[in-house]
Amino acid sequence: MSLGKILDTLLLGPLRLLFELLFGQTYALTGAAGWAILLMSFVMNLLLFPLYRRVDKIQEESLKLERKLQPGVKHIKKTFAGQEQLMMLQTYYRQNNYKQSYALRGTLSLALELPFFIAAYQFLSQLKLLQGLSFGVIADLSAPDGLLLLGSWQLNLLPLLMTIFNVLSGVVYSRGSTPQLKIQLYAMSAFFLIFLYNSPSALMLYWTFNNFLSLVKNLLTRKSGSRQLEKKQEAKKFNTATAAESAASGRITLVRHKAKKRKARLPLPLSYWQLFIATAIFLTLLTGLLIPSTLVSASPEEYVDLYHYEHPALYVLSSFLLAAGVFLIWFPVFYKLMSDRVQRAFARIFFIVAGWALTNYMFFGRHLGIISPVLQYDNGISFSLWEIIGNILLLIALALLLYYLPRLITKRAIVLLVVASLALGSMSVINLFKIK
């Protein structure tokens, strides 16, 4: 397996899998590929909306800090030169808790959006189902739309609509931003127009609707942001008046408020980031290494293609890379974009999911028959009513236990995950040696 294939599986494989899952569900629901693509775009935006909101908030905070420091930066650049100017700027940034890497926060939205675009491009461009399918006025979803006729010229309408929505969304999003950010947004709009002009209509339908939803999102969030700013200003005035009145009457509550604040900021005995990473490693080893290696080692010859021979262990490697991409790359990216409160809850839920996965693997679905090389049971999957009820009750009890377990045993929860991960890794290595 080449380095490019490894990176593609790690970074884009999980996203392609997500697109495949969403398209399969939306196509089963609508029965039409065009409507399935539009619904898939809507669901994807719905899933990513909290993350984009968090990214917007981070960028707004960074922009606000840059504006605050701008007068001082101008003064230093005007007064000093050369090495002295650099040292003064570094000192000034350090005193104001500003890192020069914060300048890259303006590209966070693009950095988050670009991998999803590439994955959508790969998935929709290679989807054989779309060949020859029409949708409304679009004759073939697997080819450029060619909807505009200007004399002998045939132009593609969807890329033009995509660019219009993209520019309008950029205008709303960059209101009050720096000229550099505006130039960056408009340059990217032009780049996407040129790059995607002759792309299949299915991809353009997805991306055009995606940009339309981004425009709606920016309009709603900016309007909501303005209202929140007005409320904050009113609250600030009210708090100022209340504080003055309290001070005049001798009712000072500031000390009590500070005491509560200090109490809330006490460090927790458990690092939720460490719990999250330990859980991610555990799930990677379970779903990406142990389960595939157990399956392949049971009958390696079933996974050999005589006409395109590859070692059966490559199936395990591919599964491991995909699981690592999901749990060790994309989940941590999303985790870091969450607020502190959401991070704590998500780490606990992640811990619960790990317990569910291990329980289901060890105690349920053990007598389903023979599984084929395409990972389908010959007799299908069916469970009795009592098995379903028992599974649900056990998972609920396990969820309640594991939700409070990290606080009860503090860092021992992490040690437990590490020991379990070592056990999974050892069993996986034994399975790999059986594959010949």
pLDDT in tens, 273-319: 888 999 999 999 999 999 989 888 877 777 666 666 677 788 888 89
Q: Taking residues 257-285, report their average pLDDT.
A: 68
pLDDT for the residue 26: 93
pLDDT for the residue 243: 45
d(CA 352, CA 417): 12
Strand partners, 154: 149
pLDDT for the residue 419: 92
pLDDT in tens, 400-435: 888 777 666 656 778 888 999 999 999 999 988 888
pLDDT for the residue 229: 46
Torsion 178-182-187-192 (CA) sign: positive
Q: What percent of the chain has pLDDT over 70?
A: 81
pLDDT in tens, 354-407: 988 988 888 877 777 777 666 677 677 777 788 788 888 888 888 888 877 766
pLDDT in tens, 132-166: 888 888 888 888 888 887 777 778 899 999 999 98
pLDDT for the residue 252: 39
pLDDT of 21 strictly over 90: yes
- What's the pLDDT band for 268 if we cut at 50, 70, 90? very low
Q: How many CB atoms sit inside 10 A of residue 50's CB? A: 14
279-311 burial, b at 16+ Cβ within 10 Å, e below that, comes to bbbbbbbbbbbbbbbbbbbeeeeebeeeeeeee
Could you say which DSSP state residue 268 is in? P
Two structure tokens written together for 376: 């389908």
pLDDT for the residue 131: 87
pLDDT for the residue 244: 44
E-strand stretches of 147-202? 148-150, 153-155
pLDDT of 60 strictly over 80: no
Please return the burial class of 206, using the count of CB atoms within 10 Å of its CB with bins 0-12, 13-18 and 19+: buried
pLDDT for the residue 267: 44
pLDDT for the residue 218: 82
- What's the pLDDT band for 228 if we cut at 50, 70, 90? low
pLDDT for the residue 99: 72
pLDDT for the residue 305: 64
Quickly tell me which residue has 């399975």 as its tokens: 431
pLDDT for the residue 220: 83
d(CA 208, CA 169): 12
pLDDT in tens, 86-116: 888 788 878 877 776 666 666 677 777 888 9
d(CA 35, CA 209): 11
pLDDT for the residue 410: 59
pLDDT of 35 strictly over 80: yes
Amino acid at 301: E
> Per this entry, what is the length of the chain?
436
Average pLDDT in the chain: 80
